[in-house]
Chains A and B, each alone.
Chain A
Amino acid sequence: MGLALLLLIWLITLVSTYFFVAKTWWLPVGASAAAGWIDHQFALTFVIMGVVFLAAQLLLGYIVWKYRESPSSPPVEYSHGNTTLEVVWTVLTAILFIGLNLMGSNVWASQRFEPAEAGAVQVEVTGMQFAWYFRYPGADGKYGKTSVKLMDPSAGGEAAVGLDTSDPAAKDDIVTGTMYLPVNREVNLNLRAVDVIHSFFVPSLRFKQDAVPGLNIPMHFKPTVIGEYEIACAELCGLGHYKMHGMVHVVSQEDFDKWVAAREAEKQ
């Protein structure tokens, strides 16, 4: 019985570890400035926790097999514990866990405590059941007014976000269902939701932030690789949650300018 248990625990441990180490399934290739940092912190955590996982499980399997009761096994050691050992592993674990945590904190700080760089591309992201809309402020750099009274989700586009077309600042606002971003430029997002909570998740860009009704949440990041990336809603928002899907097209600055010009032309 001890041997069967040892084999099962070791087998589970080694098979689980194999798929982690072989990276059969792994984080998607990162395509933003923060990806390198995040992936580094992930890898560091992964190595430390992986070693602890292997050590603890293999030891558990070994101990249950080694100390199984048999007619020849020696009497047990009558011990109530060891205070020195308790102190040692308490302190070691505390240093390891808290140290690991602090190492990751600078990435969080740079993304969330500091505002976006000057000259960042401005995009407003609006989530609603079950679509994403992206609004660019246009040449004037100002978003036009929106109003809940004007919102008409079934019409899509400008009407869906309730754009007040009588506002002069709204004249050059672009509203689209697909996000376009220039590569290597910081993006300053304003996240909003009109009905329930949604979450704007782009795995390849290592970006996730909830969009909450009643809040306007600013957040910034910098895509670094040209490509098309999928958006998946990450907060349960109703029956169509699974199909609240969108695309981010990261293009060259030149292509981005062309795309903006074409959208402005469409509006006229």
Chain B
Amino acid sequence: MATPASVHAHAPQGFIRKYIFSLDHKVIGIQYFFLALTAVFVGMFLSLLMRIHLIWPTASLPLVGTIQPETYLSLLTMHGTIMVFFVLTTAPQGGFGNYFLPIQIGAPDMAFPVLNMLSFWTTFVGFVVIICAFFVTGGAPLHGWTGYTPLSALPSAGPGEQLGADLWITSIAIFCIASLMGALNFLTTTLDMRAKGMTMMRMPLTCWSWFITAILGLLAFGVLLSAGILLLMDRNLGTSFYVPLVVVNGQVMGHKGGSPLLWQHLFWFFGHPEVYIAILPGMGVTSQILSTFSRKPIFGYRAMVYAMLSIGFFGFMVWGHHMFMSGMSPYSAFAFSILTMCIGVPSAIKTFNWLGTMYKGRIRFSTPMLFAIGFVSLFVSGGLSGPFLAQPVLDIQLHDTYFVVGHFHLIMGVAAIFGIFAATYYWFPKMFGRMMNESWGKLHFFLTLAGTYAIFMPMHYLGMAGQTRRYSQFTEVAYQTKLLPLQTFMTYAAFITIAAQFIFVINLFWSMFKGPKASDNPWESTTLEWTTATPPPHDNFGGVTPVVHHGPYEYGVPGAAKDYVMQTDPTTSTAH
């Protein structure tokens, strides 16, 4: 194991070096976590305004006033962008990955602590830039989180497409740079910093998920960064990468010969791996928690690793399934469609193995476990609409309808968020030294599971009936107006679900200061973070370098003194 020179034996003392510009991966992890928490509340507030506008388009709201159709589209764009980048990419990888990857593999810190600090602060700048888009003249862009050109490339194509759109794409470019730095750090740390005995096949599945996510990030964000720079050039320097000869509002634009589909190819080459960037860490933490709270080894550890690797591999070959209706060659649709179906196979393997892990276990219903079980349920529900959308012929009806919105919200939205909740309840004691309140946690879980299904399941019905997405009102198309009662139901469900999230926030902050003190291993888990003090010291293991003797999920070992064997236990013999 290599020890980087920058790991100090002594923790920094000043407030700024300790809490603001810290090099400690644990502090940086917590910084990422709170950035994502801030972002998720912004994103959720935007979705609340959207749900209100859909049902009561003329309502005048306090502070906000009456929402205009173009404002609705700005809310939608910013909701998607903030959630995908600053929540679903930031919390699972930047937050929990940063905090627990080094500890779980027995390292004192990340491989490049300075780079780690830089990647957080770069992400932070990206977040500030995107928030600024709300406050500039013209407001935030209305082109959706996918930013399809030429709409996103032409300042005259709509309100918000001026400075707001420049800030939007600049923010994404900054985020890409930050994620590239983070990915390099994760890869190097995983490959180079593992403790003695911590072979790749003894790593917890969480570490595998962060590792594979980092590979995806390294390959995907570079492409989006380049695509974003080209878009900025089209917008500001008069180039025509994405814009052919077009006439907007009777004015001939100065572009010629560009290809709108080029943006879609580049965007989705990033965009599809991105959904796995959001969900893979959730799969990792779900595996960890299901095994821990079923008191049983994970079912099919190797199959789980291979499944994640093949999801990552295939994830780069399916981007065209977002483009079946785009005018792309219909022949390529065949290839993209078959490869997309192939991704269903490792996803199904994971589900089987999660059920196999709980089967014949002794399940403890602590809050982290509830959210992990919820993850499995949502993963199944969101996953099974995938084979509909993977078929080009069904996309003729379903593409760009609420069916798609329901599909990706269940799987990469809510399931990934359940992964984040599970991780929060599970690791909170280690991070903050106190326990969260279990009763509030359980109430939060039941309301959130029921609430999210009530919001997103009806979207599938709407999509089948032909309700198009990104409509600010349903008053102009007769068949869509008939579907309004279901939309109204979803808005009420959203009110309840959003209200339930305050239970979580109150529990989080209250427990941080007032919760009962946590022991070093409150869940009787086996991985390395539970062998060290709570919260862990600056160098993670207090000057000791752990030596690993076992696989990560040795529960219920026959003949062992307890029903779990720590990875560092030198005496007991296990099968893995």
Contacts and interface: CB of A to CB of B under 8 A. Distances in A.
A217 interface: yes
Contact of B248 (A90, A97, A195): A195
Contact of B341 (A12, A52, A86, A97): A97
B314 interface: no
Interface stretch (B32-40, B110-118, B141-149, B500-508): B141-149
Nearest to B258: A214
A194 B249 CA distance: 10
A74 to B, nearest CB: 8
B363 A53 contact: no
Interface residues of B, number: 121
B479 A28 contact: yes
Interface in B230-256: 243-250, 252
Contacts of A235: 148, 400
Contacts of A214: 244-246, 257-260
A65 to B, nearest CB: 9
A56 to B, nearest CB: 5
B399 interface: yes
Interface residues of A, number: 102
* A28, A67, A194, A199 interface centre (most CB from chain B within 10 Å): A67
B368 interface: no
B396 A208 contact: yes
Contact of A78 (B247, B458, B558): B558
B249 to A, nearest CB: 7
A41 B393 contact: yes
A192 to B, nearest CB: 11
Interface string A56-67: 110110011001
Contacts, number: 335
Interface stretch (A98-106, A169-177, A181-189): A98-106
Given A8-B450, A76-B361, A112-B330, A60 B377 contact: yes
Interface string B345-377: 100110111011011111111000010010011
B47 interface: no
A108 B337 CA distance: 11
A5 B374 CA distance: 9
A39 B380 CA distance: 24
B247 A196 contact: no
Interface in A229-266: 230, 232-243, 245
Interface in A104-132: 104-105, 107-108, 112-113, 128-129
A69 B362 contact: yes
Interface in A199-238: 199, 201, 203, 206-210, 212-215, 217, 230, 232-238
B407 to A, nearest CB: 12
B300 interface: yes
A86 B361 CA distance: 19
Contact of A236 (B148, B446, B475): B148
A41 B472 CA distance: 31
Contacts of B488: none
A121 B355 CA distance: 55
Contact of A79 (B297, B373, B465, B473): B297
B562 interface: no
Contacts of B296: 76-79
A80 B344 contact: no
Interface string B306-331: 00000000000000000001110011
Interface stretch (B384-392, B415-423, B513-521, B537-545): B384-392
Contacts of A212: 260-261, 326-327
Interface stretch (B81-89, B90-98, B150-158, B527-535): B150-158
B50 interface: no
A80 B396 contact: no
A93 to B, nearest CB: 4
A149 B373 CA distance: 61
Nearest to A244: B476
Nearest to B384: A49
B64 interface: no
Contacts of B142: 236, 238-239
Contacts of B69: 239-240, 242
A242 B471 contact: yes
Contacts of B432: none
A107 B330 CA distance: 12
Contact of B576 (A59, A80, A107): A80
B342 interface: yes
B464 A27 contact: yes
B361 A81 contact: no
Interface in B290-311: 294-303
Nearest to B349: A90
Nearest to A34: B396
B297 to A, nearest CB: 5
A95 to B, nearest CB: 10
A194 B247 contact: yes
Contacts of B70: 239
Contacts of B295: 69, 76
A236 B555 contact: no
Contact of A45 (B154, B299, B394): B394
Interface string B542-570: 00000000000001111000010000000
Given A81-B300, A239-B158, A242-B474, A97 B359 contact: no
B396 to A, nearest CB: 5
A169 to B, nearest CB: 21
A81 B380 contact: no
A89 B352 CA distance: 8
Contact of A28 (B337, B465, B556, B576): B465
Given A206-B396, A207-B396, A148 B479 contact: no
B466 interface: yes
A32 to B, nearest CB: 10
Contact of B327 (A25, A28, A152, A215): A215
Given A67-B362, A89-B348, A210-B326, A25 B355 contact: no
Nearest to A99: B341
A226 to B, nearest CB: 18
Contact of A76 (B154, B294, B334): B294
B333 interface: yes
Nearest to B397: A206
A248 to B, nearest CB: 13
Contacts of A33: none
Interface string B258-278: 111100000000000000000
Given A89-B349, A108-B393, A113-B330, A8 B449 contact: yes
A267 interface: no
B486 interface: yes
Contact of A232 (B143, B334, B480): B480
Contact of B397 (A94, A208, A233): A208
Contacts of A80: 297-301, 575-576
Contacts of B348: 89-90, 93
Given A19-B458, A41-B391, A108-B334, 13 more contacts: A42-B388, A60-B377, A68-B363, A69-B295, A76-B563, A79-B297, A80-B300, A90-B349, A108-B330, A197-B151, A206-B397, A209-B325, A236-B73
22 contacts: A5-B373, A28-B466, A45-B394, A53-B384, A59-B355, A64-B363, A73-B362, A75-B556, A78-B297, A80-B298, A81-B303, A98-B338, A98-B342, A100-B391, A107-B393, A153-B250, A206-B397, A208-B400, A210-B327, A213-B244, A215-B261, A234-B401
